[in-house]
Amino acid sequence: MALIAVVCAVIGTVTTVALRSHLYDQLDGQLDEVASRVSGPGPPGDPQGGGDKGPRRMDLDAFVTRGPQPRRTIVADVRDGVVIDAKYGRDSDESTDLSGMTAISLGAEQRAALAAVPRDGGAHTTGIPGLGDYRVEYRAGANGSYYAAVPTSGVTTTVNTLVLVEASVTAAGLVAASLAGTVIVGVATRPLRRVAATATRVSELPLHAGEVNLDERVPESECDPHTEVGRVGAALNRMLNHVHGALHARQESETRVRRFVADASHELRTPLASISGYAELTRRGGELVGPDTRHALGRIESEAGRMTLLVEDLLLLARLDAGRPLEFGRTDLVPLVVDTVSDARAAGLDHNWRLDLPDEPALVSADTARLQQVLVNLLGNARNHTPPGTTVTARVRTVGAWLCVDVEDNGQGIPAELLPHVFERFARGDSARSRTTGSTGLGLAIVQAVATAHGGGVTVGSVPGRTVFTLRLPALSEQESAPSRSQAQHSLTTRVRQES
Ligand SMILES: Nc1ncnc2c1ncn2[C@@H]1O[C@H](COP(=O)(O)OP(=O)(O)OP(=O)(O)O)[C@@H](O)[C@H]1O
Ligand SMILES: [Mg+2]
């Protein structure tokens, strides 16, 4: 459109300028003729013209009304450098003249405008008040000195008409081009849009994890190798085939690793149980053993216990990864939190334990055992990774459609470099690494996996003096919670809380 507009504008301008200059040339030719006719052949005193009687004066009235002069031609008689008379011919009804023209004298102002034109024998454009623009020329000849002037209105009208026609044609052309352009571009880019739509759908697929079904392909009709778009479509399809293959291979290898970890963990449980069982049996048996052996047996037992915990954690993670279904049931978070905090208090008497619970039941659909493990892990961290005297608060609150459990402590906080990775497997702080009691770095990974499997999530915010883990679970709606059960549970909760 812009290109067409520019081309039309250039053509229009060039045509207009050329036509105008041509018309002015013609007009100047006419002007020359008029000037020659009025001033006579040679300069004043020329023996060929007026002879020695001096210049003949032209009858201006007759000149402007008759003869081949263009309409409205002005002639002015100049004597001694002063315009003494000036006339132009005008159409007139009451004219007695055969040509139907009347000679009108110019006023003083109009004559002054004429007189201001340079007397160099060349044509000049000037405005005559009341009569419009004229081409004016001064000429001295055998008949004396004259100004001759012809109107430019004819040229102006022609040029204006041309500009109007050009503008209309350009506007119509632009409208037609825009309509045709829209239709043609729309049709031409339709295959490209289909390819783009396929690419967009693929980009919206969750490809980062799990079994990915990458079935999107560019339609066969848009894969014609003879067109550019077809080649793009075919290339995109080939790429999607590769990506699909790669994702499938990734998934297979992931599944294999997971199955291996799950199988290994499962298989390790029995020998571990045997090791700790035999160690305990030997320690408790009546046989006399030396202090070293007794110590060694104690170590075997405690390390076997630690390894059992690790294996259990690994097994649980492998099962959650494999998407093994949880045993969902209606669970009230309030008694669960009360119970786990009581247990934590029993294990950590040197910490201060606080509860902040709502009055109504906090019902979620969850696997109670897994949820309990999550709370135990969070409270265990607040106990194990903070110094004695730390206050730990467990809070249950409702946020929109979510139920949130906060475990907050005022310990030294999680190191800044560990914080972004704290939910990763085997991510541990230095303090946890150096501890002798079993700390594997799987606790928070399990918390996150369980929360995700419940359709919720877990977040952490930690600065020195305030660390909050927030577990978020979807709340059960009113309809889903039967009033009688919830009432019963609430009374139980109140009782538990009072005991606690
Ligand atoms: N409340 C907390 N205050 C300070 N540091 C914490 C807190 N909770 C977790 N951390 C840090 O985050 C690390 C990871 O915690 P995570 O529970 O995953 O592993 P762990 O407690 O070390 O081992 P595990 O729980 O498997 O026995 C911990 O080692 C500890 O450094
Ligand atoms: Mg932990």
pLDDT tens, position by position, 168-177: 999 999 999 9
Atom of ligand 1 nearest to the CA of 467: 1
CB 458 less than 6 A from any atom of ligand 1: no
What is the DSSP-derived secondary structure letter of residue 273?
H
Q: Render pLDDT for 200-253 as a digit per residue (tens, 0 to 9).
A: 999 998 887 777 788 889 888 888 889 888 999 999 999 999 999 999 999 899
Structure tokens at 54: 């001096």
Mean pLDDT, residues 69-80: 87
Look at the alpha carbons of 349, 354, 360, 362 in this order and tell me if their dihedral is positive or negative.
negative
Mean pLDDT, residues 354-379: 93
CA 271 – CA 274 distance, rounded (Å)? 5
CA of 114: how far to CAs of 89, 125, 281, in Å?
Answer: 16, 10, 137
Structure tokens at 71: 């309409």
CB 385 less than 6 A from any atom of ligand 1: yes
pLDDT band at 435 (very low <50, low <70, confident <90, very high): low
Q: Render pLDDT for 17-29 as a digit per residue (tens, 0 to 9).
A: 999 999 999 999 9
SS3 for 438-478 is CCCCCHHHHHHHHHHHCCCEEEEEEECCEEEEEEEEEECCC
CB 222 less than 6 A from any atom of ligand 1: no
Give the rounded percent of residues in the chain with a pLDDT score beyond 90.
52
User: Which residue lies with its CA nearest to atom 28 of ligand 1?
Assistant: 428
Residue 331 has pLDDT above 50, yes or no: yes
User: Which residue lies with its CA nearest to atom 5 of ligand 1?
Assistant: 414
Mean pLDDT, residues 257-272: 90
CA 330 – CA 229 distance, rounded (Å)? 55
pLDDT band at 486 (very low <50, low <70, confident <90, very high): very low
pLDDT score for 484: 46
Mean pLDDT, residues 255-267: 90
d(CA 423, ligand 1 centre) in Å: 9
pLDDT score for 495: 47
Residue 105 has pLDDT above 50, yes or no: yes
Q: How many CB atoms lie within 10 A of CB 292?
A: 8
pLDDT score for 290: 86
Pocket mutation for ligand 1, best pick of 306, 310, 313, 444 (most atoms within 8 Å of C-beta) = 444
pLDDT score for 437: 60
Task: Indicate the SS3 state at residue 243.
Answer: helix
Asked if 114 and 86 count as a contact pair (C-beta separation under 8 A), the reply is: yes
pLDDT score for 56: 61
Q: Which residues are 140's β-sheet partners?
A: 145
Pocket mutation for ligand 1, best pick of 308, 351, 381 (most atoms within 8 Å of C-beta) = 381
Residue 60 has pLDDT above 90, yes or no: no
Pocket mutation for ligand 1, best pick of 377, 385, 417 (most atoms within 8 Å of C-beta) = 385
pLDDT score for 492: 47
Give the highest mean pLDDT range of 258-267, 373-382, 472-481. 373-382
CB 429 less than 6 A from any atom of ligand 1: yes
Give the rounded percent of residues in the chain with a pLDDT score beyond 70.
88
Report the candidate in 254, 398, 413 with the shortest Cα–Cα distance to residue 334. Answer: 398
CB 460 less than 6 A from any atom of ligand 1: no
Mean pLDDT, residues 347-352: 92
Mean pLDDT, residues 186-198: 90
CB 439 less than 6 A from any atom of ligand 1: yes
Q: Which residue has the tokens 């075919």?
A: 234
CB 381 less than 6 A from any atom of ligand 1: yes
CA 136 – CA 152 distance, rounded (Å)? 10
Mean pLDDT, residues 437-449: 86
CB 144 less than 6 A from any atom of ligand 1: no
